[in-house]
Amino acid sequence: MSTLQYQFTANFIGTEAVAGEGDFFKAFTPSTQEQLTDEFTNVSSEQAHQAVEKAAAAFAAYTKLHPHRRADFLDSIATEIEALGDMLVERAVLESGLPTGRLTGERGRTTGQLRMFARLLREGSWVDARINPALPDRQPLPRPDLRQMLVPLGPVVVFGASNFPLAFSVAGGDTASALAAGCPVIFKAHPSHPGTSSLVGQAIATAAQKTDMPDGVFSLLHADNEVAGELVAHPAVKAVGFTGSRAGGLALQRIAQERPEPIPVYAEMSAVNPVVVLPGAIQENATKVAEGLAASITLGVGQFCTNPGLVFLLDSPQSTLFLDTVAEKIRASAPATMLNAGICQNYHKGVQHNRVIPGVHMLAESETESADSRTEGRPAVMTTTAPIFLCSPALSEEIFGPTSLIITCQTETELAECLETLEGQLTATLYATPDELGQTGFDWVSILQAKAGRVLFGGYPTGVEVSEAMTHGGPFPATSDGGRSTSVGTGAILRFVRPFTYQSFPDALLPLALQNANPLGIWRNVDGELTKS
């Protein structure tokens, strides 16, 4: 155990650690449902406004910093998170019930994506600089000098997710991409892991001081729902990042749209991530496909936003082997602690709701009874037919936990009809052989592409690579903006910027990215040609 001193209970308004003036609360450890001893305080409405006002004051200075200095800030955040050592992982284990190995990996993902955005800033071409030099002699009218680039929106409010206390939390992808874009961040901590949040908040505040960032570039607030709504409604806030329930995301979107100046809410909400299994794939290896499905369903107690909640199986002679193998693996899987009692309760309610629908059958449940049904999710897989699924809209709703519904379709037409009824998804997966895709009467790839932000050919969707080419978004309700953005990968930065054109500016007054000498050495579009000159 490290001996580093840290504060579990602090809010940070800029770099200042403060006690909240609102209600007291304590964290719980879901594995035992016991309160931890540390007391936290929510901020008051006045304190929340102070944080936004600090962010607004910091914006002008922060956006004018050389991009390499913002990159240094992101690198420093990663270093300070690593300096917390075992304390951070140990606290996250206590507050989330997730295992040490999972959270150690998640810490690496968090620091890795911070450094990925730092590299993006140093390379610089992401600003999409476009230059049309003046043509004073053009007839019949001269052309003025026009120079466009992406510029930051302004202060951003980010909400932490329950299921990723590090990678989608205080220093997660929303925060990292907003800070990279040049936007100060006001972070609303998730109440399920307040101590973990305060630790990372302190790491960011320390990094801001060490790299001489404007005070207010980042704040961490524990806040109730009313104050959280006030953050979104504040006129200085220009965008919102959120990962969580559909109800929560839509509530924030309503607040944002009812403002005198509506702002974008980038909310990742719900998905069932359908998996389509065609006969050729299970004929080649029914056992392998089925074992992979069962492992994906139960990974992380099913608490991934990419968990495969629906499986569409086109009936074939090998279907029985496929189903038997899934059932065997689910029976052998053990219940495990979920993130909190509320999530666990909703999981069991969802399973019970579906299993009593006529025509839905329990294929298999874990044969190990839960040690504590209040906190442990028991894996379960149910089956039904396409006609039942098409008549029961509730079956396509997300159940957050280690469960999936397998729908057997007798014909390709039934399968296509089922897929057409689905809402937008983060992912869709297709198991098939290239030969059968060439012989089918349906373009399954196009059908799935219309429904999801990412389509996998084989494999399973749990696990999201943090890389330049990743899309983690999708049509509504997977994301609130209709799938036009991603919250993972370098493309996430585009949520927090807008195009801006400088017309007829003296060269010395232009941003470095647009100056004639191209001092940053980035790729730019000059009269339709990409060049570094």
Catalytically active residues, by annotation: 268, 305
DSSP output for 29-70: ETTTTEEEEEEEEPPPHHHHHHHHHHHHHHHHHHHTS-HHHH
Q: Residue 143 gets which letter from DSSP?
A: B
Tokens describing residue 229: 């709504």
Q: Residue 280 gets which letter from DSSP?
A: H
CA distance 203 to 187: 14
Helices 86-96, 100-123: crossing angle, 10 deg rounding: 120
Residue 266 C-beta-side C-alpha neighbours within 13 Å: 27
- Cβ count within 10 A of residue 151: 17
Tokens describing residue 178: 């907003």
CA distance 455 to 185: 32
CA distance 363 to 361: 6
Cα first-last separation, the chain: 53
Q: Residue 9 gets which letter from DSSP?
A: S
Beta bridge partners of 221: 188
Contact residues for 60 (Cβ-Cβ < 8 A; gap 6+) = none
Whether residue 434 is preceded by a cis peptide bond, meaning omega within 30 degrees of 0, is: no
Looking up tokens 């909190």 gives 340
Beta bridge partners of 382: 362, 405
Contact residues for 454 (Cβ-Cβ < 8 A; gap 6+) = 426, 427, 428, 461, 470, 471, 472, 474
CA distance 130 to 147: 6
Of 400, 332, 394, give the one whose Cα is nearest residue 365. 332
Of 64, 115, 33, give the one whose Cα is nearest residue 339. 33
- Residues 262, 256: contact at Cβ < 8 Å? yes
Of 293, 458, 283, 285, give the one whose Cα is nearest residue 363. 293
CA geometry: angle at 81 spanning 79 and 82, to 5°?
65
Helices 194-210, 86-96: crossing angle, 10 deg rounding: 150
Tokens describing residue 225: 């729902």
Residue type, 59: F
